[in-house]
Chain A
Amino acid sequence: MIATLGLAALWLAAALAALQLLGGFLALRSPENPLAMAVRPIAVVQGGLVAVAMICLVVVFCQTDLSVLLVAMNSHSAKPLLYKFAGAWGNHEGSMLLWVTIMAMAGGFVALVERRLPEPTILATLAAQAFVSLGFYAFLLFASNPFTRLDPVPVEGQGLNPLLQDPGLAFHPPTLYIGYVGLSIAFSFAVGALLTRAVSPTFARAMRPWVLGAWIFLTLGITFGSYWAYYELGWGGWWFWDPVENASLMPWLAATALLHSVSVLAARNALRAWTVMLGVVAFSMSMVGTFLVRSGILISVHAFAVDPTRGQFILALLAINIGAALTIFALRAATVTEGERFALTSREGALVFNNVMLTGALGIVLIGTLYPLVAETMGAQVSVGPPYFNPATAIFVLPMLVVLAIGPLLRWRRDSMGRIGKLLLAPLALGVVALGLFALQPIHLLPLLGLGLAAALVVATLIPLWGRNLRTLKLPTWGMVMAHFGVALALAGMASDSAFTSEKLVAANVGDKVELGPWSITFDRVEPVPGPNWTALEATLHASYAGGEPIELKPQARAFWSPPQPTTESALATRWNGQLYTVLGEQAEDGRWQLRLWWKPFVTLIWLGGMLVALGGFLALLGRVASDLRRLVAIDKIAYRRTRQGR
C-alpha cells in the first residue's frame, strides 16, 4: 500500500517535471503564458511529491515490508532500526531516489524563495532543473524502480552489507548527496543565465548561496566519509584515492573553484564566462561521480549492483546533460561581455590563480580516475594509486596554498606586494624554521613541504583579522578566515600523519605488553561478545600514554550472520595530540593473536580542519543570507512608502 503510494507520487512528480520544463520553455518565448506563470508552483509541488515518495521508501524499510523487492534484497527484520531507516539509501535504487528527492526539493526551494533575478532567468533556471531531473526520473522509473514488488513474499530479507552497518550510514550519504545535487542548482542557474543573457553580478549574488550551501555539505560529506573509512576499514588510512572517493573530490574541487570565482563576479563583475563554465563543470563532475559509482564499472563497497544497462543509461544522461549545457555555452559565450579589468597583483589575480590550480588538480584527479577504465577497454588492467595522485596533485595544490596566504591580504583591482610584504614576514619565518627543524628528521619530501607550509599558513590565514575591529567584522570575512585556517589545520594533520605515524604489527599472547612510541599497551584478554545481528571476538587492551592512566580499548573481529561476512572493528583512543588506532587480527596456530597498532600524532587535525572549513562556509552563508534579507526588507519598505505616497 505504502509502496504503491510512493510509486504513484514518483510518477506524478515526473509528470510535473515535464510540465515544468514545458512551462519554462514557453516562458522563454512569452512570459505571460499561463503555463509559464505556473512554473514556480509546479516546482514546489514536484519537490513535495518526491519527498512523499522518499518517505514512503523509508517507511517500507522501517516496517521491513518484504513484498518490496528492494527491502527483501537489502534489509533484514533483525537489523537494528537505525540501519533499517538508513538502509533505505544503502542500496542503488534507494540512493538514486534520494538523489532525485534532493534535486527536486532544491528546485522547489529555488522556486519558493528566489526573487532577485529577472523572472525569465528564474523560469529558464527551473526549466533546466526540470530537464536534468526528468532524465533521472526516467532512470529511476524505467531502470531502477525502488518500489518493484515481489511475489511471493519471502520469509526473510537478505540483509545489508555489514560494512555499511554503522551510524555513519545515516549521515554520510545524505550529506554528500545534498552537496552533489545542490550543484545541480548552480548548473541550472548557469544555463538559465546563458539562455536569457543575464550573466551579471546580480546573477552571481543569487547563485552564491546555493553554491556555498552545496559546497558546505560536500565538505562535510567528504570529511565525514574520510573518517568513516578510516575507522571502519581498519587499514589505518584516511584517504585511499579510491575512484569513489575521487568521485566526491572532483565536484568539491570544481565547487571550490566556483565558490571563489562567483565571489569575483559578485564583487567585481569579472570572470563572467569562466564562472558560468565552472557552474556547468561542477555539476558535470557530480554526474561523472554518479556514473562511476552507480554504473557498476567499479567494484567497491559503494557500488551496490552490477548492471551494465544502468551504466549505459547514466552515461547517456551524462552525455545529454553536459552536451546540451556545453552547446548552449558555445552558442551564448560570445554574448557574455568582457568583465572588469584587474592587475595581476590583486585579489582577482590571486583568485584566478586559485581557480587555475584547482582546475589543474581536478584534471589530474579526473585523468587518474578514468585512466584505468580507458586502459581496460584497450585490454590492459591498470590501477592508479597514491604514487600517482599524491605528487601530481601536490604540484597544483601546494602553490595554490602559498597564494592562499597572500590572496586575502590583497586589495581588489590593483595592489603591490610591497604593501603586504611586511605582514607575511612572520609566517614566512615560521615556515622556514619548521622546514629547517623537520628537515633534520627522516621525512619524505611531500610531508616535509606540507609541515612547513602548514606552519606558515596557521599564522598567515589569521592575518586578515590583524588590525580589524573584530566586533564589526562581517560574517563572510570571519567565514573566510575560519575556512582558510581549517585548510591549514587539515594540511598539518595530513602532513603529520604521513611524517610521524608509527606502526607495529605483533603476534601477542594474552598478558603481553607492547611498546609503541610513547604508548605502552597491555593485551588483557579476548572474549566472545554477542550483537543484534553479529557475534564478535573482542580484545581488551589497556593503553597508557607516557606512563599515565591506562585507557581501555576494545577492538573486535565481528562475524555478521546475514549476510554472512566478517568485519574488523577498530578501537581508537583519542588524545589532544593524536590517536592510537588498534585492530585485532586472527589467531595463529600457536595461540598468539595478531594485533596491529598505529600511533598517529595530530591525525585528528585532518577532520577538525575539514569541519572548520565547513563551519567557515556556514558563517559566510549566514552572513550573505542575512544581508540579502535585510536588503529585501529595505526594498519592500521603500516600495510600500511609494505606494502610500502615490495614493
Chain B
Amino acid sequence: MNSPIKAKHQRLVLVLVALAALIGAGLLAAWALRSQASYFYLPAEMAANPPEVGRAVRLGGMVEAGSIKRDTDGVTIRFVITDGKARVPVRFKGIVPDLFKENSGAVAEGKRGADGVFVADNLLAKHDEKYVPREMKDMTAGQARQTVEETK
C-alpha cells in the first residue's frame, strides 16, 4: 500500500481503523476485567462461597478483638477478620497502616491460600473521617445496625 489511496476511501479506511482499535480495546478490556477485576468479599460470603485459591480478591470486615498476633520474625502478623457471622484468618507481612487496630474496620487485598488462611499483600484501614476504603463506608454502617440488633 505504497501509493496514496483514493481520497474517499482513505477517510473510510481511517474511520474503520479507529473503530477497529476502539472495539478491540473494548473487547480486550471486557475480557481482562472478567479475569482480573478483584471482587470484594465479606467473611460470611467467603465462608459460603470461597473464591478460587490464588485469585486476587479483597476481604473486608472488623479486626476481631484479641486476634492480632505477631510472628517471631517481627514483621508478619496474623489476625482474624470477622463480620459477626464468619471468621477468616489473615496473614500479612509488612508495615500495617497507621490506623489498623482491633475492633476497627479493615480491608485486606490478597489471595486465599490453600490452607484457608487469607494471605494479604496490602491492608487498608480507615485513614481518618475523610478517607475510608470504599467498601468500608457501607460496611461499618451495616455493622453498626447489626451491633444494635445484637445488643437489643
When chains A and B are docked, how far (Å) is the Cα of A245 from the Cα of B76? Answer: 30
Q: Are B14 and A588 in contact (CB under 8 A)?
A: no
Which residues 87-125 in B have Cβ within 8 Å of A in the complex? Answer: 93-96, 98-99, 109
Tell me whether B51 is interfacial, beta carbon within 8 Å. no
Once A274-B14, A414-B2 are accepted as A-B contacts, the answer to whether A563 and B74 lie under 8 Å apart by CB is no
User: Could you say which residues of chain A place their CB within 8 Å of the CB of B39?
Assistant: 380-382
When chains A and B are docked, how far (Å) is the Cα of A26 from the Cα of B90? Answer: 67
B138 to chain A, nearest CB (A): 9
Q: Are A416 and B128 in contact (CB under 8 A)?
A: no
Which residues 379-425 in A have Cβ within 8 Å of B in the complex? Answer: 380-385, 387-388, 391-392, 395-396, 413-414, 416
Partner of B127, one of A341, A355, A565, A588: A565
When chains A and B are docked, how far (Å) is the Cα of A343 from the Cα of B14? Answer: 12
Tell me whether B151 is interfacial, beta carbon within 8 Å. no
Contact bitstring B136-147, A, C-beta under 8 A = 1, else 0: 010000000000
Closest A residue to B60 by beta carbon equals: A381
User: Could you say which residues of chain B place their CB within 8 Å of the CB of A395?
Assistant: 28
Give the bracket for the number of chain B residues in contact with chain A.
35 or more
Q: Are A359 and B75 in contact (CB under 8 A)?
A: no
Partner of A368, one of B6, B29, B131: B29
When chains A and B are docked, how far (Å) is the Cα of A314 from the Cα of B6? Answer: 44
Q: Are A161 and B130 in contact (CB under 8 A)?
A: yes
Q: Are B128 and A368 in contact (CB under 8 A)?
A: no
When chains A and B are docked, how far (Å) is the Cα of A596 from the Cα of B122? Answer: 14
Which residues 291-316 in A have Cβ within 8 Å of B in the complex? Answer: 298-301, 304-305
Tell me whether B50 is interfacial, beta carbon within 8 Å. no
Q: Are A352 and B14 in contact (CB under 8 A)?
A: yes
Partner of A301, one of B40, B96, B131: B131
Q: Are A590 and B33 in contact (CB under 8 A)?
A: no
Q: Are B7 and A505 in contact (CB under 8 A)?
A: no
Q: Interface residue count for A (Cβ, 8 Å)?
A: 64
Once A360-B25, A588-B74 are accepted as A-B contacts, the answer to whether A343 and B1 lie under 8 Å apart by CB is yes
Q: Are A381 and B40 in contact (CB under 8 A)?
A: yes
Once A300-B131, A352-B14, A414-B4 are accepted as A-B contacts, the answer to whether A567 and B98 lie under 8 Å apart by CB is yes
Q: Are A356 and B18 in contact (CB under 8 A)?
A: yes
When chains A and B are docked, how far (Å) is the Cα of A146 from the Cα of B94? Answer: 41
Tell me whether A583 is interfacial, beta carbon within 8 Å. yes
B27 to chain A, nearest CB (A): 10
Partner of B37, one of A300, A382, A588: A382
Tell me whether A239 is interfacial, beta carbon within 8 Å. no
When chains A and B are docked, how far (Å) is the Cα of A567 from the Cα of B73? Answer: 24
Partner of A360, one of B10, B24, B127, B129: B24
Interface positions of B (Cβ within 8 A of A): 1-8, 10-11, 14, 17-18, 21-22, 24-26, 28-30, 32-33, 36-40, 56, 58, 70, 73-75, 93-96, 98-99, 109, 127-135, 137
Q: Are B58 and A360 in contact (CB under 8 A)?
A: no
Q: Are B137 and A299 in contact (CB under 8 A)?
A: yes
When chains A and B are docked, how far (Å) is the Cα of A447 from the Cα of B119? Answer: 25
When chains A and B are docked, how far (Å) is the Cα of A414 from the Cα of B11? Answer: 17
Tell me whether A535 is interfacial, beta carbon within 8 Å. no
A376 to chain B, nearest CB (A): 8
When chains A and B are docked, how far (Å) is the Cα of A592 from the Cα of B33? Answer: 42
Q: Are A594 and B95 in contact (CB under 8 A)?
A: yes
B125 to chain A, nearest CB (A): 11
Closest B residue to A584 by beta carbon equals: B95
Closest A residue to B5 by beta carbon equals: A341
Partner of A363, one of B10, B26, B128, B132: B26
Closest B residue to A388 by beta carbon equals: B36
Once A341-B4, A344-B1 are accepted as A-B contacts, the answer to whether A367 and B37 lie under 8 Å apart by CB is no
When chains A and B are docked, how far (Å) is the Cα of A360 from the Cα of B73? Answer: 46
Q: Are A357 and B74 in contact (CB under 8 A)?
A: no
Once A338-B8, A383-B38 are accepted as A-B contacts, the answer to whether A588 and B70 lie under 8 Å apart by CB is yes
Once A367-B29, A585-B95 are accepted as A-B contacts, the answer to whether A387 and B36 lie under 8 Å apart by CB is yes
Tell me whether A371 is interfacial, beta carbon within 8 Å. yes
Closest A residue to B58 by beta carbon equals: A383
Tell me whether A514 is interfacial, beta carbon within 8 Å. no
17 chain-A/chain-B pairs, Cβ below 8 angstroms? A274-B14, A274-B18, A299-B131, A343-B1, A344-B1, A352-B14, A359-B25, A367-B30, A371-B29, A380-B40, A385-B109, A388-B32, A413-B4, A414-B3, A505-B94, A566-B99, A588-B70
